[in-house]
Structure 1
Amino acid sequence: MAHPDTGVRVDPGSFRDPGNRVFHRDGEVLRGLDERSARDWRALAGSGFFRTLLAAGKLCGTEEVAPTPPWSATLRHERIPFVSHPYEWSFGMLRDAALLHLEILRAALVDGFTTKDGSAYNLQWRGTAPVFIDIGSFQPYRDGEPWAGYRQFCQTLLYPLLLQAHLGVDFQPWLRARVDGLEPDQMRRFFGGARRLLPGVPTHVHLHGAMQQRNARATTSDVRAQLREAGYSRELAAATVRGIEKLVRRLDRRPGESHWSDYQRTCGYSAQDRHAKERFVEEAVAAAGAPAMALDLGANDGRYARIAARHARYVVAVEQDPAVVDALYRALRAEGERRILPLVMDLADPSPGGGWRGVERAGFAARTRADVVLALAVVHHLAIGRNVPLAEVVDQLAGLATPGATLVVEFVHPEDPMARRLLANKPDGLFPDYRREEFERLLAARCRITRRAELPSGTRTLYRAVVNG
């Protein structure tokens, strides 16, 4: 919601905690705090753990600025280069985000603080480095008080990890389906019989679900009183966090083989084609003049995202196969790359808006305005493989870019081996418009084509274009 008279735009995903609210003004990310939250913030800002984590880059950069009415205090946060959602992350990304969340909570408890929330949405990324963004979640710890964020942590972080680590089931569709994550009752259906004994399942699935049912009618005050009487303390809370941390570190699911993981070897490119394509991409991104953000659609092993990162300040690399994204994430993290963000995304079914009124979590198209868009070996998969009209494919590519942005797109001719393989599974004559001439006409209607190049194979054409304003 925007307020034209003040230039303030309230973040639609920031409404669940009435004590603080995130809003945007003049390109800045701000957080308004009520009187109680302002007191908690000032205590937090003076704590040792907060300053240490802030200096290490594990918390988003935050400083207090002049208050914005009606709030008692206002914070200014660093702007994260690209906002992503947990269902767009790979297994390794979700696990590293969970570990950072637990590390921060453990450090907070030592200094007498805790967090009100445990949601995966409290984390974002600087490339392959997770960062905790919900500064308003911190509050002083009170003895006898359970971690209020435990249920959220289970539903949005731990349960998806258990699902994939133990059963090999990709978690992304489950998280995308419900903004609050997986419920204990859902998880119990997955983990019956011998599966009940898998690491983490007895305590965090079955016992957690049973405790929820038992305390369904108890008030928060009742639960706190019971825990206080039982001797629950900050030390026990920290021990619980260490136990969860140990469990999460043990969970793993190494990327397996898939069609897309071997695509670079099987896609039919010759060495000459690959070299020509790399040179074309390098020149196109360099000519864009240090773009703020490049988008690599169908990134696969990140070959072209890495080329783009030589010139762009930030690169979002989108790939539909979770195993391929996980392999790319692990490789980039090992390289120390902090300017490429890999994401799981099916371009024929990109992330929609979700949560309350469909805007609490913005859809991919609403979040994306790139200065350079790379669409290499993508068009034929959408137009032939997924039956998307060619005109709509071009509209999608141009729509993800800012006016005046550079679009680098590859058109695979119908006679190319990969196109023929896709067409072999389709009825004859289904795609009469899938022709180079028609693609160029559609591209020219949305962009100004500035360069064409035929790859040495003779069955693929590369285009560099400027998106119309």
Structure 2
Amino acid sequence: MAPPHPAPAEPVTRTEPGSFRDPANRVFYAGDEVYRGLGPRAAEDWLALAGTDFFPRLVAEGRICATEAVDPTELPAGVGADWSTVLRHERVPFVSYPYEWSFAMLRDAALLHLDILREALAAGFTTKDGSAYNVQWRGSEPLFIDIGSFEAARDGEPWAGYRQFCQTMLYPLMLQAHLGLDFQPWLRSRVDGVEAGQMRRMFGGTRRFRAGVLKHVHLHDAMQNRNAANSTDAVRGQLRDAGFSRELVLATVRAVRKLVDRLDWQPPASHWADYQETCTYSDADRAHKQRFVDEVLAEAGGPDLVLDLGANDGTYASIAARHAGYVLALESDPAVVDRLYQRLRADGERRILPLVMDLADPSPGGGWRGVERASLTSRGQADAVLALAVIHHLAIGRNVPLAEVVDWLVSFLAAAGPRGRLVVEFVHPEDPMARRLLANKPAGLFPDYRRDEFERLLAARCTIARREELPSGTRTLYVGIPDD
């Protein structure tokens, strides 16, 4: 007698490493589903929230992630045992972090958070968190995801998320708008953001009179220092005794929103911002390359996720979006990403997410135990990778061994198997761009940077399914299919 057909395996449940900070709720994954467990108090807040008019409306408008309570009998094993209520959330296409966003992206995320908070306050709710990590993206559309942050507002209490909002949104925006400093390294180095005391030291003298600095930096820091020895309950009691009201909280939120909306950044002149005009591509090269990428991705049968490494103005990301479910457009220059994001936002593009990413120094794991914020490599498993005019910048410009560059590119396709496609451009040593990079290096430093050596390395890791030389004769396009 044949053995019975085995029952389908339960999806493996894992906890989101970054969701531990609020003990009242945790986020879990089971297969492709996203769940949030709520404790007793959080479950009460959810029931009240779900019964409001503003919450379902903001969900319908796409400003808050779709959320529903789940019948306990429908939950995968291990998800709901320790929680009063379990919610199911829509899954965002790709999890990104504020230190990977451009200035306009962070500003739009901050404005979304403030707009949602204003509506919540009017309905008797508030948000206990003000973190930039509570926002994710559907392409160029920001999305609030932290449903567990909503709680009933209490008279006489301030906005609990104000400090977090300043540290992870307002202060980074001020650094870039007022001082021209890229905020990404600051947020990447400290998961909790920029402290008021740090800001105060940078905004002394006449700088303290720049928009928002005196109130939200100097006064904020002074208040924190004055109340450092007092408990949170004691400070709240003082505010209630002083007549602090929900109307004052709402007025504060309106004022902060007006400030954020006024903050602006004019990017400095950038080589990469004008790359399409200054690069050595001929019209024939450019047309051939675009046609090649379009054909390869069409033949790939609709990849779910495409990584465009070194996306520049998004030309090839846009081609990829014709065929793919979602495209990550990674570019190292914040000004280029900002310009691309604003164009995508104006077009309402929801399938391309532009991110600031130095490919020679991509986002590592960070936060508690190095896993609270996941590395790019662990998040970026894709079905197709575009590496166009990238290899020479890594191998020559950043001294990364050619073999390691190839290994790194193929690693993004580890989960795709034979379905994966690596579309890569090798710029020959005699190409003007490669010669320019080599001219800044000691002679003979890169003897292995040759077309034949690149082909050998690629063939050792992939089946080379297609090879075409561009009309200029100094660049070659390849399609690699990862070996099993």
Taking a change above 3 Å as real, the CA distance of residues 313 and 21 of structure 1, as seen in their structure-2 partners, is same
Post-superposition offset of 1:27: 1.8
SS at match of 1:456: coil
Unaligned runs of 5+ in 2: 1-8, 73-79
* Alignment match, 2:36: 31
Q: Map 1:325-336; keep pairs closer than 5 Å.
A: 325-336=337-348
Task: Tell me which of 427, 440, 446 is aligned to 1:425.
Answer: 440
User: 231-240 vs 371-380, which deviates more?
Assistant: 231-240
Distance, in Å, in 2 between the alignment partners of 1:358 and 1:463 is: 36
- The yes-or-no answer on 1:43 pairing with 2:31 is no
* Structure 1 counterpart SS, 2:250: helix
Q: Secondary structure at the match of 2:94?
A: coil
1:392 aligns with 2:404: yes
Runs of 4+ residues over 4 Å off in structure 1: none
State the Cα deviation string for residues 409-443 of structure 1 (Å, max 9, x = none): 00000000000000001111111110111101111
- Superposed, 1:41-440 pairs within 5 Å as 41-67=46-72, 68-401=80-413, 402-404=416-418, 405-440=420-455
Task: Report the more deviating stretch, 4-13 or 236-245.
Answer: 4-13
Q: Residue deviations 1:95-130, cap 9 Å, x none?
A: 000000000000000000000100000000000000
**Distance in 2 separating the partners of 1:369 and 1:445:** 20
Aligned mates of 1:294, 1:167 — CA distance in 2: 35
Matched residue, 1:460 = 475
Note if contact 1:61-1:77 (Cα within 8 Å) is conserved in structure 2.
yes
Deviations 1:118-148 (A, max 9, x none): 0000000000000000000000000011111
Cα distance per residue 1:180-239 (max 9 Å; x no partner): 000011101110000010000000000000000001011111111111111111111111
CA distance in 1, matches of 2:428, 2:94: 34
Distance, in Å, in 1 between the alignment partners of 2:192 and 2:68 is 30
The DSSP-based 3-state class of the residue aligned with 2:374 is coil
C-alpha contact (below 8 Å) 1:255/1:327 kept by paired residues = no
Q: TM-score with structure 2 length normalisation?
A: 0.95
Task: Give the whole-Å Cα distance in 2 for the aligned partners of 1:6 and 1:340.
Answer: 29
Letter in 2 for 1:424: A
Q: Distance in 2 between matches of 1:124 and 1:137?
A: 15
2:466 corresponding residue in structure 1: 451
Most deviating of 383-392 and 60-69: 60-69
Cα distance in 1 for residues equivalent to 2:362 and 2:241 = 50
What amino acid is the match of 2:27? V
Q: 1:286 to 1:5 in 2, by over 3 A?
A: closer
Amino acid aligned to 2:349? E
8 A contact 1:451–1:463 mirrored in 2: yes
State the distance in 2 between where 1:448 and 1:230 align: 72
Structure 1 position 260, deviation (Å): 0.5
Amino acid at match of 2:299: A
1:278-312 CA-to-partner distances (Å, cap 9, x unmatched) read 00000011111111111100000000000000111
Contact 1:448 1:467 in 2 (8 A): yes
Give the residue type in structure 2 aligned to 1:242.
Answer: R
Contact 1:118 1:151 in 2 (8 A): yes
Tell me the distance in 2 between the aligned counterparts of 1:394 and 1:62: 41
Which range moves more in the overlay, 349-358 or 397-406? 397-406
Deviation at 1:268, TM superposition (A): 0.2
Partner of 1:14: 19
Query: So what's the TM-score if we normalise by structure 1?
Result: 0.98
- The number of residue pairs the alignment matches comes to 466
Distance 2:291 2:237 in 1: 67
AA aligned opposite 1:29:
V
Q: Is the 8 A contact 1:319 1:343 kept in 2?
A: yes
- RMSD over aligned Cα, in angstroms? 1.0
CA distance in 2, matches of 1:91, 1:7: 37
Query: Per-residue displacement from partner, 1:141-162 (whole Å, max 9, x unpaired)?
Result: 0001111110000000000000
Distance 1:211 1:194 in 2: 21
For the residue of structure 2 that corresponds to 1:13, the secondary structure is helix
Q: Identity rate of aligned residues, in percent?
A: 71
Aligned residue identity for 1:157: M
The answer as to whether partners of 2:167 and 2:192 remain within 8 angstroms in 1 is yes
Once the 2 structures are TM-superposed, how far is the Cα of residue 5 of structure 1 from its aligned partner?
8.8
Counterpart residue type for residue 459 of structure 2: A
Deviations 1:48-88 (A, max 9, x none): 11011111010011111023111111000111001000000
Tell me, in whole angstroms, the C-alpha distance in 2 between the residues paired with 1:450 and 1:426: 34
> Which SS does the other structure have where 2:18 is aligned?
coil
Q: Which letter maps to 1:292?
A: D
Q: Is the 8 A contact 2:11 2:31 kept in 1?
A: no
Q: Within 2, Cα distance between the matches of 1:119 and 1:467?
A: 39
Cα displacement (A) at 1:254: 2.8
